[in-house]
Amino acid sequence: MKYKSIKLGLLTAMGSIILMLSLSQTAIAAGEKWKIRARGIGIVPADDSGTVFLNGNTGQGAGVEVDAAVMPEVDITYMITPHWGVEAIASMANHDVNIDGTPTGTLAAVGGNGTKLFDTWVLPPTVTLQYHFMPEGNIRPYVGVGVNYTATLFDDATDGLETAVGGPVDVSSSNSWGWALQAGIDYEINDKWFFNADMKYIDIDTTARINVVGGALAGNGFNVDVDVNPFVLGLGVGYRF
């Protein structure tokens, strides 16, 4: 089921990009602009976690937190009109998931507050509809609203977690659909190049499931619901064509 969802999300993102590319000849003929940006982004989760549960019904006294990450990002914008544009972004980030609070029960054997449980790669294709306030100015602010699909890939338990539970561990984090808000500024260098500053807030919810598949605790499973909800802060440079 997870991989079907991943395929659906990737196809949605690819479909949006293909749709924009299919309009390129019309856009060029009509004098519209494409913008491509390369940014460095900081992903800062405003996360809120439920309590970790063992086998779904025994509380373990602590939640989890998702750490921040810094990654490169590429996006492309198709300007439908001088004021309205559609942006699609592509990036992939690795995040550690750590114990948050004072664990009890079986989880306490894993470690205390801040102990890493696993890491995951996050692929969050996002498409936004933007409004550009001053499309002919040297400073061009914009806002946007859109949709995000987040796929979690390559979940990997730590050696410490597997040692604590006495056997191998399988980790699976659910994928997520959500909304996105955006605000940014393009600062013109010349008629082709510009600086960019951008901020997004993305609604991301996931459920992490940690299954012990070997050793004395084989068959036990931890699970926790997490609202990741990151702010994505970006600085970069863009090119218009």
Beta pairing class for 84-90 and 126-132: antiparallel
**Hey, how many other C-beta atoms are within 10 angstroms of the C-beta on 196?**
20
Q: For residue range 27-42, what is the model confidence (pLDDT) as tens digits?
A: 444 455 899 999 999 9
Closest CA to 35 of 81, 87, 71: 87
Q: For residue range 162-175, what is the model confidence (pLDDT) as tens digits?
A: 988 888 999 999 99
Q: How confident is the model at residue 9 (pLDDT cuts 50, 70, 90)?
A: low
* Positive/negative CA dihedral, 239, 202, 129, 174: positive
Q: What local confidence, expressed as pLDDT, does residue 55 receive? A: 82
Token pair of 105 as six digits: 């029960």
**Is residue 186 a contact partner of residue 240, using CB atoms and an 8 Å limit?**
no
Q: What percent of the chain has pLDDT over 70?
A: 86
- Position 225 pLDDT exceeds 80: yes
Please give the Cα distance from 52 to 231 (Å, whole number): 24
Q: For residue range 91-132, what is the model confidence (pLDDT) as tens digits?
A: 999 999 999 999 998 888 889 999 999 999 999 999 999 999
Q: Which domains does the chain have, with CATH numbers?
A: 2-240 (2.40.160.20)
